[in-house]
Amino acid sequence: MSTATRRRRFVSGPRCRTIPFAILALALGGCGGSSTPERRTLIDSRDNYDPRSLDPALSTDVPTGRAVAYVFDGLTRFTERAELAPNLATTWEVSPDGLIYTFHLKSGVRFHDGTPFTAADVKHSFERVLDPATPGGRGWPLYPIKGAKDYAAGKLKSISGVEVPNDTTVLFTLAEPFAIFPKMLAMPATGIVPHRTPPDFGEHPVGTGPWRFVEWRHDDYLRFARNADYHGGAPLADSLEARIIPEMSTAEAEFEAGNVDVLWVPEQATPAWEENEETRPLLQSAPSLRLIYAAMNTTHGPLRDVRVRRAINYAIDTRVILRRLMGGRGTVAAGVIPPSLAGFDSTRAPYPYDPAKARALLAEAGYPNGVDVELWSSQSEQFPRIAQTIQAYLARANIRVKLVQRDASSMREAARKGNTDIALKDWYADYPDAENFLYPLLHSANAGVGGNVSFYHNATFDSVVSASRREQDPAKRAALYRQADSIAFEDAPMIFLFFYKEVDAVQPWIKGYVVPSIFNGQRWTTVSIKHEAKAGTK
């Protein structure tokens, strides 16, 4: 999933990033500690644009995905550390051929409106997401189920692969083995909705999740109240508010004033936050399942030659870009699998910065006078600066770069149509698995609209990835992931840049907050405001 619509990087118009607000505030002596607020509402400030809806079927962006995770439950869920955990399903097993999954559901769970949750709701919810009349287009996580694709195309009356033998059991028959299928059921789109969903369901959602929906003031805030009967343990705080603040400097000011509890720290502000002794203890971080990379179109001119693509990787000092432009937020990538996921190979070193080698490779490829390429980037966040820096590095290796800057939507369209040479992009995982990087970004089945905008096609890579999707044994699967990643690293269909590190500032009075590694991993159930016992000074 691209972060252009998924994370703060969504550029919603003219922004004033010229002012490093924290620094200015520090200079004016503004950074004073606020005292613990009286409120009993947790306030989040990480959303920077309005969710598109609170209907799971429409959840394609981060604010929507987060809110859906508060109100709805899937059969499974992701923890803050991006591990798979049971949710509405307590256990599940898979048949030896990897085709039939049996999920055993919790009993006694009720929706916020009091209706009991049963296995029939699962079938109904999945059919609703896939229904051609539901204009979400978010059915793909369920496509592994037999008949799901045909149902989505209007060819079937119901999904043949879903069976409900009793109220607490659901059976899924897959079209072909797909070992990480349970992870699909933790995505926002596969959240369970009650049988009756009125037309304004997206505005007044009813789920079984830890938080009941209370109020949504568009572009302002979302408010939720504690579901005291939550089957997974009621949230500690009374209520939760997600404020929608488009401008980061404003969010920083709100944090500074003590009005919000958690703040996403912008990259360029990170050093200022880290160097200040008052603000440093407030920072928390987590490795994020987000890859920043530049897809090289392997069907374009000199980029067809693997030596040219490797030369480009050798010609860029990624560490310097990471340190200087990203506030050191991340680790340099040597492949597409993030360090926290199975399949990551810690022995593989990133491409070192070696301009001489880059020039030699170019000469070997028959380009002693260098090559000309176009580098596309969106206007989001640090991307234009990263693009300019890459341009400068490549110039030293005799690779002449023409920068093309477009808004995110235009760039995405151009890249998918194959009109870009190199496209600076990022990818934020939908689910925590190496497959979510290897398959969409590089498998030839996803060339173009599917996400592989390198138009990379390597038959061996494809077959290894396809095999990994079927492999039931986790260790063998991880080995296949490692193998595929290694092939991709050698073929260099992209400039491998970095895996991102998420940094949030958390108020000192907040207890139990963990920075999530995946966007819907933090459901605020164990977070609370630590109200100090009143001292007798008043």
Partner 1 sequence: MISFIARRLALSIPTLIGVLVVTFLLLYVAPGDPVQEMVGERADSATIARLRKDLRLDEPVTSQFTHYAGGILRGNLGTSYITRRPIIQDVLERFPKTLLLAGTAMLFASITGIFIGVLSAQHPNGWFDRLALGAAYLGISFPVYWVGLLLILLFAVTLHWLPPSGYGGLRHLILPALALGTRSVAFLARVTRSAMLDVLNSDFVRTARAKGLREHVVVTRHALRNALIPVITVLGLDFGYYLTGSILTETIFSWPGLGRYVVNAISRRDLPAIQGSVLFLSVVFVLVNLLTDLAYAKADKRVAL
Show contacts with partner 1 in window 211-250 (CB under 8 A): 217-221, 243-247, 249-250
Q: Exactly one of 372, 407, 473, 490 binds partner 1 (CB under 8 A); which one?
A: 407
Q: Are 90 and 105 in contact (CB under 8 A)?
A: yes
Q: Does 484 bind partner 1 (CB under 8 A)?
A: no
Site map 253..282 versus partner 1, x via CB under 8 A: xx-xx-x-----------------------
Q: Which stretch binds partner 1 (CB under 8 A): 274-282, 362-370, 382-390, 442-450?
A: 442-450
Q: Does 414 bind partner 1 (CB under 8 A)?
A: yes
Cβ neighbours of residue 521 closer than 8 Å, sequence gap 6 or more? 78, 79, 80, 81, 82
Taking each helix axis from N to C end, the angle separating 474-491 and 435-442, rounded to the nearest 10 degrees, works out to 40
CB of 448 to partner 1, least distance (A): 8
Q: Does 58 bind partner 1 (CB under 8 A)?
A: yes
Q: Exactly one of 74, 287, 440, 516 binds partner 1 (CB under 8 A); which one?
A: 440
Q: Which stretch binds partner 1 (CB under 8 A): 4-12, 97-105, 355-363, 388-396?
A: 4-12
Shorter beta-carbon distance to partner 1: residue 105 or 375:
375
Q: Tell me how far apart the alpha carbons of residues 161 and 144 are, in angstroms, rounded to a whole number.
A: 9
Shorter beta-carbon distance to partner 1: residue 133 or 535:
133
Q: Does 36 bind partner 1 (CB under 8 A)?
A: no
Q: Considering only CA atoms, which of 270, 238, 264 is closest in space to residue 47?
A: 264
CB of 184 to partner 1, least distance (A): 12
Q: Does 2 bind partner 1 (CB under 8 A)?
A: yes
CB of 302 to partner 1, least distance (A): 25
Shorter beta-carbon distance to partner 1: residue 307 or 425:
425
Q: Exactly one of 364, 413, 473, 490 binds partner 1 (CB under 8 A); which one?
A: 413
What would the DSSP string read from start to end of 221-253? EEEEEE-TT-TT---SSSEEEEEE---HHHHHH
* Other beta carbons within 10 Å of 534: 7
Q: Give the strand pairing for 371-378 and 422-428.
A: parallel
Q: Tell me how far apart the alpha carbons of residues 9 and 129 are, in angstroms, rounded to a whole number.
A: 27
Q: Does 204 bind partner 1 (CB under 8 A)?
A: no
Q: Does 285 bind partner 1 (CB under 8 A)?
A: no
Q: Tell me how far apart the alpha carbons of residues 244 and 198 are, in angstroms, rounded to a whole number.
A: 26
Give 57's DSSP letter: G
Shorter beta-carbon distance to partner 1: residue 53 or 313:
53
Shorter beta-carbon distance to partner 1: residue 408 or 480:
408
> At residue 352, what is the residue type?
P
Q: Which stretch binds partner 1 (CB under 8 A): 138-146, 179-187, 288-296, 506-514?
A: 138-146
Q: Which two tokens stand for residue 179?
A: 């070992």
For residues 21-60, one letter each, b for 16 or more C-beta atoms within 10 angstroms of the residue's C-beta and e for the rest, the string is: bbbebbeeeebeeeeebebeebbbbbbbbbbebbbbbbbb
Q: Does 30 bind partner 1 (CB under 8 A)?
A: yes
Q: Does 146 bind partner 1 (CB under 8 A)?
A: no
Q: Which two tokens stand for residue 271?
A: 């050093």
CB of 7 to partner 1, least distance (A): 12
Residue reference for tokens 């209520």: 239
Shorter beta-carbon distance to partner 1: residue 161 or 451:
451
Shorter beta-carbon distance to partner 1: residue 170 or 269:
269
Q: What are phi and psi of 470, to 5 degrees?
A: -90, -20
Q: Does 25 bind partner 1 (CB under 8 A)?
A: yes
Q: Which stretch binds partner 1 (CB under 8 A): 13-21, 171-179, 329-337, 396-404?
A: 13-21
Q: Are 210 and 93 in contact (CB under 8 A)?
A: no
Residue reference for tokens 């979400």: 136
Q: Is 512 exposed, middle or buried (0-12, 13-18, 19+ CB in 10 A)?
A: middle
CB of 16 to partner 1, least distance (A): 4
Site for partner 1 in 97-136 (CB under 8 A): 132, 135-136
> At residue 517, what is the residue type?
S
Cβ neighbours of residue 174 closer than 8 Å, sequence gap 6 or more? 98, 99, 100, 101, 144, 145, 146, 161, 181
For residue 250, the Cα-to-chain-centroid distance in whole angstroms is 24
Q: Are 532 and 362 in contact (CB under 8 A)?
A: no
Shorter beta-carbon distance to partner 1: residue 259 or 276:
259
Please tell me the count of residues contacting partner 1 according to CB under 8 A.
71
Site for partner 1 in 343-382 (CB under 8 A): none
Shorter beta-carbon distance to partner 1: residue 103 or 181:
181
Site for partner 1 in 495-534 (CB under 8 A): none
CB of 450 to partner 1, least distance (A): 6
Q: Does 408 bind partner 1 (CB under 8 A)?
A: yes
Q: Which stretch binds partner 1 (CB under 8 A): 170-178, 230-238, 336-344, 400-408?
A: 400-408
Q: Tell me how far apart the alpha carbons of residues 435 and 527 are, in angstroms, rounded to a whole number.
A: 31
Q: Are 400 and 391 in contact (CB under 8 A)?
A: no
Site for partner 1 in 445-464 (CB under 8 A): 446, 449-451
Q: Exactly one of 146, 309, 359, 416 binds partner 1 (CB under 8 A); which one?
A: 416
Q: Tell me how far apart the alpha carbons of residues 190 and 251 are, in angstroms, rounded to a whole number.
A: 31
Residue reference for tokens 């009125």: 198
CB of 414 to partner 1, least distance (A): 7
Shorter beta-carbon distance to partner 1: residue 317 or 430:
430
